[in-house]
A and B are shown apart, each in its own frame.
Chain A
Amino acid sequence: MTRSLPLSMPGEFAPGHIVARDLDGSPITWSGLCARVDFWCARLRLLPGPKIAVHHSNSIEFISIVFGLWRLNRIPVIPANTLDATLDAITAETDCFVGEFGHRSAAIDQTGAETPAMITEMPQTDVRQTALIMFTSGSTGAPTAIHKSFEQLNGEMVLLETQWGREAAGTLTLGTVSHHHMYGLPFRLLWPLVSGRPFLNQGLIYLEQLLALRQFRSTLISSPAHLDHLPETLDWPAVQRSIQRVFSAGAPLSPAAAESCSQRMSAVITEIYGSTETGAVAFRDPVHAGPWQPLPGVTVKSVQGKLAVNSPAVDRDRWLVTEDLCEIDAGGRFRLTGRADRIVKVAGKRVSLTAIESALGAHPWVEKVAILLLQQRKSRIGAVVRLTDQGIAALVDRGRRAIGKELLAGLKDSVEPVALPRYWRFVSTMPVNPQGKTTASELAPLFDDDNRPRYPQILETVTPGEPGDLPDEALVRFVVPQDLLYLEGHFPGKPILPGVVQVGWAIHYSRQWLGNTGEFRRLEALKFQRVIQPGERIALHLKLDRNTGKLTFSYASGDVSHSSGRVVFAGAD
C-alpha cells in the first residue's frame, strides 16, 4: 500500500510505526518524526521564503525540514552538494539556506524547548505544484534546475512499488548514495517512507558498516562508486543472508563488478536507468548487461534516434525526449548507444566528444579518457587521461609534449583539426562525484589553474635603439593581476608577489626583450626592500651586460624601490 505525498501528518501511520533506524539499530518512530517536523516548522516559518535550500546528512532531519516546508507551503531547493560553486549557482533562486551549509546556514534556535504541539493542517495542495527543486548532474555542462511536482514524485513511487514493492516489504533500506539527488531521494527515503518500510537514518560511508546491520533484511541503494570497489577484507559470508537486493544507478556498472557483487553479497543486483528529469525509467540485470526493460507503466519510443519516455514520473500526457541515443527492440526494451548531447560545436563544426574518446581510448597508452569542451579556455577541447603503465613509462621518458603529440597523431584521420585536444591532463584517478560519475564539473577545474595569469598585465615595454636590433636594456611597465596564480597561499589574507616570481619574471623578460639565451648560473646581490601587492603599477628595469653575462634587474614604483638583484648567465652571447 503506497501513500501519497505530501503525507497528511500526523495521522498517516500509527505513532509507534518504525520510520527509520540509526546505525546502532535503534528505531525512530512516526511520532518521533512528527515531533521533528513540528520543531522545524516552528523555526522555518520565521525564515524568508518561499524557496529554501536544504542539505542535511541526517535523513530524518532532512526529511523533517522538507515536510516542514511543505506544511508551510514553501519549496525545498535541494543542491546535489555544498561546494561553493554549486551554492553560488543557486543563490539567485534561493531565499535562504537551512541545514549543513556552513556559514551560509540560517541561524536556527536548536535549544528551544519542545514546541507545544502545533497541529498545522496541511495546506490544500495541488498535486501539480512544485514539490521540490533538484539539479541535473551536469554530465555535459552546468547543472540545470528541475522542478518536481507531487504528482511526479508519487508517479515514481507507484512505479517502484509496482515492480519491487512486494519483495522489498519488511526490509531496511540502506544507501551508499546521497539522498540529495534524484536517485537517492526516491530510492533511499521517499519510497520506503510512503510504503511503510524503515530506512537507515544516515548514508553508509563504508560497506564494512553492513556488518553492524546484518540482523536486518535489507535493500541496498548504491552506485558503481562503491560497487566497483568492494572491500576484500569484509566478512562477506556474514552479511550474505541480510541483503535482498542491490540497486545500482548513476553510472554504468560493469558486468564483472556486478558478478562480484552478486557472488559476495548473494543478492540480486538490479541496475537502474533514469535521470533527474525522467526519474527511474528502466532496469536490467547488469551481470548480463542485456537490454533495458522499462518499468511497468513506462513506455519508450525513439525520436530521431533519441530515447523518448512517457512515464507517470514525468507526465502521462507527453513524451520527454532525452539526449540518450537508443535502439528499441520489438518487445519495447532498449539499448543505449551514446549521448546525443555529447556533440558540441567547435568553430562551427559539429564534434562528437564520444568519438574522440573512443579514438583515444584505442591507444595502448590510454587506460581511461574523458573529453570535454573547455568554456573557460576559448572553447577548446581538453582531454583528461589516465595512462596505462606503458603510457606512464613513456611520459616519464619523453615528457608531456611528446605524449600529447603521439596521442594526437592517432586522431588526425578521424577528428577535425580544430577539435583536436589542445590541453592535456594526466591523472592517476579520474575525478568522480559521490554518485561515481565523472562529469564536466569534476573535470573542468583541472584546467582552471592554468587559466589564471602567470605573468603581469603589461602596460608598455620601452627598449632603446632600432626595432629588430637586440637591445641591452628594457623597461617593462606592468600591473600585478589580482588573480595571479602565484598569489595563492602567499599569503592568505595578505597577498604579496613572491620574490622567486620577481626573479623569474626578470629572467623571462630578459629572454623576451633582450634576446638573452644564456643558461642560468647563479643569483647575486638579491635585495627585497618593499613588498609588491596585487593591483600595483610597477616598472621592471632590465640591463644585460653581454660580456659578463650579468643581468641586473630592479622593480620600482615611482621613486620607491621594491627589489633588485643580479642574475648571472653562462654563455650569454
Chain B
Amino acid sequence: MEALELELKQLIIDTLELEDITPDDIDSTEPLFNEGLGLDSIDALELGVALQKRYAIKLNAEAEETRQHFASVRNLALLVQSQRQ
C-alpha cells in the first residue's frame, strides 16, 4: 500500500509537471485539490486520463464517488487496489 501511494505521488508529479515538489512533500491524507496540494479541475481531468492509462481503472467524471476517490492519495490508492481485485 505504501509503495502504491509513493507510485501515485510520483505519477501525480510527472503527469501534472509539478515543480518544487517531491513525493516526500505530499501527505497521503492531505486533500489533492484546493487547499492542500492545490490541484484544479484541469489537473483532475489529466490525472483521470493518466490513472486510466496506467491502471486501466474506470472513472465516472461526474459521480460524487469519483470526487471521493480524488480526495487524497490514500483514497486513490484504495481505488486502484480495489479495482485490481
A112 to B84: give the CA distance in the assembly, Å.
Answer: 80
Residues of chain B from 46 to 69 with CB closer than 8 A to chain A in the complex? none
Q: Is A404 an interface residue (CB 8 A)?
A: yes
CB of B81 within 8 A of CB of A401, answer no
Question: What does the 1/0 interface line of B1-45 toward A look like (CB < 8 Å)?
Answer: 111101100100010010111010100000000100010111000
Known: A400-B20, A468-B84. A418 touches B38 (CB 8 A): no
CB of B41 within 8 A of CB of A347, answer yes
A401 to B3: give the CA distance in the assembly, Å.
Answer: 24
CB of A423 within 8 A of CB of B2, answer no
Residues of chain A from 497 to 524 with CB closer than 8 A to chain B in the complex? 511-515, 517
Residues of chain A from 406 to 441 with CB closer than 8 A to chain B in the complex? 408, 417-418, 420, 423-424
Q: Which residues of B contact A316 (CB under 8 A)?
A: none
Q: How far is the CB of B69 from chain A (nearest CB, A)?
A: 17
Q: How far is the CB of A80 from chain B (nearest CB, A)?
A: 31
CB of A378 within 8 A of CB of B17, answer yes
Q: Is A377 an interface residue (CB 8 A)?
A: yes
Chain B minimum-CB-distance residue to A402: B20
CB of A468 within 8 A of CB of B81, answer yes
CB of B20 within 8 A of CB of A347, answer no
Q: Is A450 an interface residue (CB 8 A)?
A: yes
Q: Which residues of A contact B4 (CB under 8 A)?
A: 468
Known: A401-B20, A401-B21. A417 touches B41 (CB 8 A): yes
Q: Is A493 an interface residue (CB 8 A)?
A: no
Q: How far is the CB of A566 from chain B (nearest CB, A)?
A: 22
Residues of chain A from 434 to 474 with CB closer than 8 A to chain B in the complex? 450, 455, 467-470
CB of B17 within 8 A of CB of A418, answer no
A71 to B52: give the CA distance in the assembly, Å.
Answer: 65
Chain B minimum-CB-distance residue to A508: B10
CB of B17 within 8 A of CB of A515, answer no
CB of A468 within 8 A of CB of B19, answer no
CB of B84 within 8 A of CB of A418, answer no
Q: Which residues of A contact B17 (CB under 8 A)?
A: 377-378, 450
Q: Which residues of A contact B21 (CB under 8 A)?
A: 401
CB of B6 within 8 A of CB of A420, answer no
CB of B1 within 8 A of CB of A420, answer no
A95 to B15: give the CA distance in the assembly, Å.
Answer: 42
Chain A interface size range: 20 to 34
Q: How far is the CB of B42 from chain A (nearest CB, A)?
A: 5
A347 to B21: give the CA distance in the assembly, Å.
Answer: 24
A455 to B19: give the CA distance in the assembly, Å.
Answer: 14
A166 to B6: give the CA distance in the assembly, Å.
Answer: 75
* A468 partner, pick from B3, B14, B38, beta carbons under 8 A: B3
CB of A512 within 8 A of CB of B6, answer yes
Q: How far is the CB of A394 from chain B (nearest CB, A)?
A: 14
CB of B19 within 8 A of CB of A423, answer yes
A417 to B37: give the CA distance in the assembly, Å.
Answer: 12
A517 to B6: give the CA distance in the assembly, Å.
Answer: 10
CB of B25 within 8 A of CB of A512, answer no
A450 to B34: give the CA distance in the assembly, Å.
Answer: 24
CB of B38 within 8 A of CB of A408, answer yes
CB of A418 within 8 A of CB of B41, answer yes
CB of A512 within 8 A of CB of B84, answer no
Q: How far is the CB of A61 from chain B (nearest CB, A)?
A: 46
Chain A minimum-CB-distance residue to B1: A468
Q: Which residues of B contact A513 (CB under 8 A)?
A: 7
Q: How far is the CB of B8 from chain A (nearest CB, A)?
A: 10
Q: Which residues of A contact B38 (CB under 8 A)?
A: 405, 408, 417, 420
A135 to B33: give the CA distance in the assembly, Å.
Answer: 42
Max count, chain B CB within 10 A of own CB: residue among A408, A417, A420: A417
Q: Which residues of B contact A512 (CB under 8 A)?
A: 6-7, 10
A518 to B33: give the CA distance in the assembly, Å.
Answer: 29
A347 to B81: give the CA distance in the assembly, Å.
Answer: 32
Known: A418-B40, A468-B1. A450 touches B6 (CB 8 A): no
Chain B minimum-CB-distance residue to A463: B3
Residues of chain A from 374 to 391 with CB closer than 8 A to chain B in the complex? 377-378
A450 to B14: give the CA distance in the assembly, Å.
Answer: 12
Q: Which residues of A contact B81 (CB under 8 A)?
A: 468
Q: Which residues of A contact B34 (CB under 8 A)?
A: 417
Q: Can you list 5 residue pairs at the A/B interface with Cβ under 8 Å?
A: A347-B42, A401-B21, A417-B40, A423-B19, A517-B6
- Chain A residues with a Cβ under 8 A of chain B: 347, 377-378, 399-401, 404-405, 408, 417-418, 420, 423-424, 450, 455, 467-470, 511-515, 517
List 8 tightest A-B contacts by C-beta distance, closest first.
Answer: A515-B3, A417-B40, A401-B20, A400-B20, A470-B3, A418-B40, A512-B10, A347-B42
| New A-B contacts (14) at CB < 8 Å, excluding given A399-B20, A515-B6, A517-B6 | A347-B42, A377-B17, A378-B17, A400-B19, A400-B20, A417-B38, A417-B41, A418-B41, A418-B42, A420-B38, A455-B14, A469-B3, A511-B10, A513-B7
